[in-house]
Structure 1
Amino acid sequence: MDFWILAIRIIFLSQTTIGILGNFSLMFCYLVLYCRECTLKPTDLILVHLMTANAMVILSLGVPHTMTAFGLLRFLNDLECRMVIYIQTVGRSVSIGTTCLLSVFQVMTLRPREFCWKDNKVKAENFIGCSIFFLWGLYMLIHFIFFVYPFIKLNSKNMTRKRDFGYCSIVGSDEISNLLYAAMVVCPEVFFSVCIVLSSGSMIVTLYRHKKRVQHIRSSHGYDRTSPESRATQNILVLVSTFLAFYSLSSILRGYIALLYNHNWWLVNITPLTSLCFPSFGPFILMNCCSIVYRLT
């Protein structure tokens, strides 16, 4: 058991450190790009907000769990605990929403005629700005309701079950609150995940058809390098598969924790580890997909 405790400590510390460095480095790159060009592309704007949401998840989830793994237990009171969880949930929801927005916007860029999108940069900027503002406002409001609700129902006899996170413990919600949370938070996240799959599949089909149309031109000129369509398809597949794998596993484990009364050591530690995977390693995938380093240099 001592070996596994040491392994969990190293993994938490590595994930948190890598995630903080990756997200803030990418945000700094876009800040430099904005200062140099005085503007950001719509895709860049989405990625900045995605990195912001990921950083919120890492700071509010990775840092407390890392401190707990090294032996610092229950160092937050009830209000502080709920604030940390509020930041976690807002960051997670916005991360999923902005990833979906990124996939949908890429489809619109690849197939502009079908979305009346051709040569309309102002429409794109307005659409992205309003969508991001809507996501932040919606999820901050929804999660704030669930942040305030336990204080209103504090004297209810139905709220006797406690949830222990290691760094703090709070009184759990009742069944009505859990059902409302599932309807207002979980269902939109499932919808966003389906949209990501559909839009990514549409992009792959479009790029494959384009590759077939221009294949004879490249073969006649003797091009042997990997085509841009193949590289774009690979980037999309890597990003989407990473996102869906980690967030799906994280959602399943979070559901088990919400439903089970007795939480074993493995479940309590593996759940935050899976929740941190995409926020921690996502920036390095995005660096490759969006070529931000190449644009800066």
Structure 2
Amino acid sequence: MGARDLPFGMLFLSQVSIGMLGNFCLLSHYVHLYYTGCKFRPTDLTIRHLTVANCLVILSNGVIQTMAAFGVKDFLSDMGCKLVFYVYRVGRDVSINTTSLLSVSQAITISPNSSRWAELKAKLPRYIGPCNILCWMLNLMVDVMVPLHMYRSRNDKNITKKTDHGSCYSVSKGVVTKSLYAAFVFSRDVCSVGLLLWSSGFMVLTLYRHKQQVQHIRRSNTSSRCSPASRATHSILVLVSTFVSLCTVSTIIHICFTVVETPSWWLVHTSALLTGSFPAVSPYILLSHDSRVPRLCSGFSEERRPCFE
């Protein structure tokens, strides 16, 4: 292990520890809600899928990068490298898609009943499950190309155009093939980010109009608190802002990967850190804005009831 790898190793280790703790707490929160008989929101199912995808990214990418940064390399076979990076890419892409789906579904949830989304709003709880499953199925099929380029790290002088990922490396199959695949991934990510921006703008506009309508009520009642729907919307807006910021920087770095035939170790480690940042931070954003966290339901009832008042 070189001296330059030690800071990255510590960063990767901290990111994995903090990220897994946050996602475990978020999953435990939903398990507690289930056993205390609380009623779930339409977006809760998507958040659970997002949490699972985040855990896959942290475990597949973070753990491998941490061990590689601390000098533990060549512990994976070719099949191990293909499997680990396939799981990583599926988790990453599902995380992107479910974040987009989460933002869109929340925008539909808070839309006025008199709007054109009223009919879709009523059917949202029925559609949200299949949409999440579809995200997993599509990415499981699309990302089958990733293992074809991954191999175990070893000194192979015959391979010049490769990117070292620590324990594994990816081989470039040619500029044309690499550029086409990068263009496809970039287009897919742009569509997801476009949906995020549209739904976020819609939510901001809806909240602003609602605030204007109830402003006179808030003046007369100074103790009124933010509604659960508003808190959930604020949480998703912060989540989306964090995602878009990290995704923009990550996209720029991925473009550099396409342009540069042999990326430097600094570029590879920085890309891996950015990839794990959103899965590590997102559970804390969601927990900090969830009104059900500080005060959970108590007692038992035959019918599920909300955990917020």
TM-score using structure 2 length: 0.83
Residues 1:74 and 1:255: Cα distance change in structure 2 (over 3 Å): farther
Note the C-alpha offset of 1:161: 2.4
Alignment of 1:15-34 (within 5 A): 15-34=15-34
Whole-angstrom distance in 2 between the partners of 1:2 and 1:191: 40
Note the C-alpha offset of 1:110: 1.1
Residues 1:4 and 1:230: Cα distance change in structure 2 (over 3 Å): farther
Residues 1:184 and 1:131: Cα distance change in structure 2 (over 3 Å): farther
Note the C-alpha offset of 1:34: 2.3
Q: Does 1:174 align with 2:165?
A: no
Which shifted more, 33-42 or 234-243?
Answer: 33-42
Whole-angstrom distance in 2 between the partners of 1:119 and 1:254: 37
Alignment check: 8 A CA contact 1:142 1:184 kept: no
Q: Does 1:243 align with 2:243?
A: yes
Which residue identity is paired with 2:266?
W
Residues 1:130 and 1:11: Cα distance change in structure 2 (over 3 Å): same
Which residue identity is paired with 2:118?
C
The DSSP-based 3-state class of the residue aligned with 1:294 is: coil
Whole-angstrom distance in 2 between the partners of 1:150 and 1:282: 29
Whole-angstrom distance in 2 between the partners of 1:4 and 1:163: 18
Residues 1:17 and 1:161: Cα distance change in structure 2 (over 3 Å): same
Aligned match of 2:163: 163
Which residue identity is paired with 2:216?
H
Note the C-alpha offset of 1:227: 4.9
Aligned match of 2:138: 138
Residues 1:180 and 1:36: Cα distance change in structure 2 (over 3 Å): farther
Whole-angstrom distance in 1 between the partners of 2:275 and 2:43: 24
Q: Deviations over 1:249-292 (max 9, x none)?
A: 12221221233123223212111111111100110001123334
Alignment check: 8 A CA contact 2:179 2:258 kept: no
Note the C-alpha offset of 1:65: 0.5
Give the RMSD, CA atoms, in angstroms.
Answer: 2.7
Percent of paired sites with the same residue? 41
The DSSP-based 3-state class of the residue aligned with 2:104 is: helix
Aligned match of 2:306: none
Residues 1:21 and 1:39: Cα distance change in structure 2 (over 3 Å): same
Residues 1:232 and 1:135: Cα distance change in structure 2 (over 3 Å): closer
Which shifted more, 259-268 or 98-107?
Answer: 259-268
Q: Deviations over 1:226-264 (max 9, x none)?
A: 755876665344222211111221222122123312322
Residues 1:227 and 1:47: Cα distance change in structure 2 (over 3 Å): closer
Whole-angstrom distance in 1 between the partners of 2:285 and 2:12: 20
Which residue identity is paired with 1:245?
S
Q: Deviations over 1:175-234 (max 9, x none)?
A: 44324423543211111111111111110111111111111122134x167755876665
Residues 1:33 and 1:178: Cα distance change in structure 2 (over 3 Å): same
Which residue identity is paired with 2:119?
W
Whole-angstrom distance in 2 between the partners of 1:11 and 1:75: 21
Aligned match of 2:207: 207
Alignment of 1:1-297 (within 5 A): 5-37=5-37, 40-111=40-111, 112=113, 113-117=115-119, 120=122, 123-148=123-148, 161-221=161-221, 223=222, 227-228=226-227, 234-294=234-294, 296=296
Q: Which runs of 5+ in 1 are unaligned?
A: 152-158
Alignment check: 8 A CA contact 1:74 1:169 kept: no
The DSSP-based 3-state class of the residue aligned with 2:173 is: coil
Aligned residues: 287
Whole-angstrom distance in 2 between the partners of 1:78 and 1:3: 28
Q: Deviations over 1:14-46 (max 9, x none)?
A: 100011111122112212322333874321100
Q: Which runs of 5+ in 2 are unaligned?
A: 152-158, 298-309
Whole-angstrom distance in 2 between the partners of 1:188 and 1:132: 16
Whole-angstrom distance in 2 between the partners of 1:85 and 1:255: 19
Residues 1:109 and 1:231: Cα distance change in structure 2 (over 3 Å): closer
Alignment check: 8 A CA contact 1:89 1:143 kept: yes
Alignment check: 8 A CA contact 1:29 1:292 kept: no
Aligned match of 1:156: none
The DSSP-based 3-state class of the residue aligned with 2:119 is: coil
Which residue identity is paired with 1:258?
T
TM-score using structure 1 length: 0.86
